[in-house]
Structure 1
Amino acid sequence: MNTRPLIASAGAAITLLALAGCVPNSPAGGDTAAITVDSTTDDCVVSATTATSGTLTFSVTNSGDQVTEFYLLADDGLRIVGEVENVGPGISRDLVVQAQPGDYFTVCKPGMVGDGVGRASFSVTGDKVELAGDVQDQVDAAAANYVAYVKDQVGQLVVGTQTFVDAYVSDTPAPGGESAADLYAITRANYERIEPVAESFGDLDPAIDFREADVPPEDEWTGWHRIEKDLFPPTAEENGGTEYVPLTADERTYYADKLVADTQLLYDAVNDPEYTVTIDAISNGAIGLLEEVASGKITGEEEIWSHTDLWDFQANLEGARVAYEGVRDIVETKDPELVTTIDDRFASLESTLAEYGSLDEGFVYYDELSTDQVKQLADGVSALSEPLSRLTATLVG
C-alpha cells in the first residue's frame, strides 16, 4: 500500500546548493569525507545515519541495473529537500546540501518511479547554519525542490494507479492483498497532494478527477470518480431514483486504460525538461489546496460514493503544508507574525483531523461524522485559510 509518514511539525529546513555530477567532496559537517550511498536494485545503503549541520555531500553510486535517484526528505517524509537524479548504472554523482539540525529520511528510487527502496532515518545535529545567498537563491531553491516533489508524487501515482486498475479490472486482490476498493483512497493521495499542478495542464484534471456533477452533459465522464461509482455502487435513491447498472468487463477496461493513459500524460508533463514553477505558483498552490478542502472535502461532495473524503482532506492538507514550507523562510523575513499564525493553525488543524484517523490506518468515513464534528473540521479549515490567503501577497510584495 502506498503510504507515507504524516506531517508532524514544521520540521527542519534545508537548502539545496547543487545537483550535479562531478561535484568535489565537501566536508560533511565536521567530517572529512562524503557520505557514501550505494543504490542497488532493492536497497539504498547510506554509510552514516547522522551528520553535523553544515555542508553535506552524499556521493551516490548506482550498483543496480536501472537508472536511479537519491532523495533527502524532510521529517514529514514528503518534502524533497535535496535530490540527485538520472544516475545511470555504474555511475556516481554527488548531492551537496546545507543541512540544518533536524530529522530527515534517505531513500533511493531505482527506475525513478514508485515509492523507492531502503528508506531510512537520518539526523543532523549541531547548531543552526546561517544560509548564504540572496532572496533569489532561496526562490530558485524553493522552485527546484517543489518541482522535485511534484515529480516524485506523480511518479508514485503512476505506479499506484496501475496497481489499482489491475485489481479493479481483474476483480482480484493486488499483490499486497488489498482489493481495488481498499486501494482507492490511499492511491489518490498522491494526486490530491499536487492537484493544483494537474489543474494547470488544462484538460488533464477534468479527465482524471471530475465528479459526476461537474461534467457537462456533452462531455464524457472518465477518471477516478467514474470508477469510484462502480466500486461503491449507489442505491437507486442515491442515484436519482435510477438503479445503478454496473460497468461491463469491457467498460471497466476502457475506463481503467483511460485513467492510466491520462496519468501518464501528467507524468510526462511534469517531467518535461522545460517544466518549472514560479514562487507565486507554489504559494498559490498551498492556498488552492485549502480551497479544495473547503469546497469539496468538508462538504462530503468529493467522494460521494465511497465517503473517503477525509483521506483526500489529509492529502490536500499535506500538499498545502509542503508548498507552504517551501516558501516559509522567505515569508518569515517579511512577516514573522504571519508565519507564526500559519504554523499554529496548521498544527491545530492537523491535530483535529488526526482525531479521525490517518492515511496509514484509515479514517472515519465521511457519512459517519456528526454535524458537530463536521463543523469542528470546517472551523479549523476556515481558521487556517484566512492567514494562508495572505501568503502570496506577502511573498511577492
Structure 2
Amino acid sequence: MRFRKIAGVVLISLISSMTMAQESYHPTPGNLEARQWFQDAKFGMFIHWGVYSVLGDGEWVMNNQHIDKKNYEKLPAFFNPIEFNAAEWVKTAKEAGMKYITITSKHHDGFCMWDTKLTDWNIVDRTPYGKDVLRQLADECHKQGIKLFFYYSQLDWYQNNYYPRGNTGHYSGRPEKGDWYAYLDYMDDQLTELLTNYGDIAGIWFDGWWDKKDADWRLDKTYSLIHKLQPSCLIGSNHHQAPKPGEDFQMFEKDLPGHNTTGFSGESEIGQLPLETCETMNHSWGFNLQDNNYKSTKDLVHYLVKAAGYNSNFLLNVGPMPNGKIQPEFVKTLGEIGKWMDQYGETVYGTRGGPVSPHSWGVTTVKGNKIFVHVLDLPDTNLLLPDFGKKVKKAYLYDDKTPVDFQQNKFGTTINIPRNKRKMYDTVVVMEI
C-alpha cells in the first residue's frame, strides 16, 4: 500500500480506517433486493450525451483534439436540444425491452447535465436550452416504470482542483495547482444533489478512477454517502479491476465477463456481485457524425443472449444527436430487438447463466426447472451438451413446443435440431429437468 503525505503527516491511520470502513460494508435488505431486481432485468439503455455531441466526434473530443478550456467553453452556446423528448426516449427503451436507463450526468469534460448549484458549468446556466434534462428524464422514468441510473465521471478535465493531473486531460490549459480533496468534496456534494433532488435513483455508475489509480479517492466516504442517502442505490465502477468494498455490481466495458478483447479487463477478475457488460451500437459512445459502423440486429441480439449466458446484464449504448433526438438508425435497430424480446424475453429476463458454460455454438440460461439452450451458430444438426448432473424429462422448441429428439447418457445430452427449424437470430430449445 502506498501512503501519501500532506503537510508532512503520513496518513497511515486514516487509510487504515478507510479500509476497515469499506470492508465492514453490509448491504441493507433493500439493497440486496435491488441487486436481485438488477440481475433479473438483464437489459438496459446506456446514454452518452453532453455538449461534446455538438462537435460530432465522440465524448473524448476535448482530450483527443487537444481543446483547451477557453475554447471548449464556447460549445454550450451551440447546444440547444429543443427536440429532446424524455417521454420518447423512455418509450424507445421500453419498446426495445429495456428495464433501466443509465445516462451521463457528467462525463470527463466536467459538463453537468443537471441544474447543479456547485458550478455554472452546466446545461441550465450555460446553454440556450436552459433546462434540466435529468429532471425531465427522471420524472418520465418514474412515470413509465423504468429504473434510472446516473453515470458520473470521477475524472474531470475541467475542474482546476482535479490535481495532480492524471493520465489524460493534459491539454485543457488548467493551472498546475489545485486542491485534490476540495475536488472530492465537490464530487460528493454533486452526488448528494443527484441523490436528493431526483427521486429514487437505482444506481450510480462511476467511471474515470483508472485515470489516477494511486490517488486517495476516498471511496469509503463516497460509497458510504451514497448508501446513506439511498440505501437501495447500487454502486458500480468501471475501474477495470475486481470489485472493491462498498460496490454492488461489477461491470465490463465492451467485453463479456472473463474476456479481455479490448485490453480494459486485464485486472477484472469476476467477483460475486451481479454483472453487467456494456457495448455500443456503432463504435462510438457519444454522437459521432462519421461513425457508420452500425452493428446488426442479429449481432446485438447475440450479444444480449451471450451476456445472459454469462450471467450478466447487457447495457446497450446510444449517443443522441445535439438536437436531442436518438439517431434513427439506433431507433430502428432497438425496435427490432424489442420485437425479438417480445417473443423470447422469457428466455432472458429473470434467468441466470445456465449449467452448460458458453461455447462457440451459443449459451444456456436457466429459470426454475427450465434450461433454455440458445443455439446461435451450429453447423450440424446435432448438439452435444456435456453432462450437467440433471435428468432431462423432455426437450422442445421454444417457439411452437415441437418436441426435439434427444439422448442422454453418462457423456452428456445430444439434441437434434433440424435445419428447417432454425431461426434467423437464435434457435431456442427448452429442456425441462
Which TM-score tier does this pair reach, normalised by the shorter chain?
Answer: 0.3 to 0.5
Q: Normalising by structure 2, what TM-score?
A: 0.31
Higher helix proportion (structure 1 or 2): 1
Q: Normalising by structure 1, what TM-score?
A: 0.33
Q: Which structure is richer in relative contact order (CA contacts within 8 A, separation 6 or more)? A: 2
Query: For the pair shown, which has the larger CA radius of gyration, 1 or 2?
Result: 2
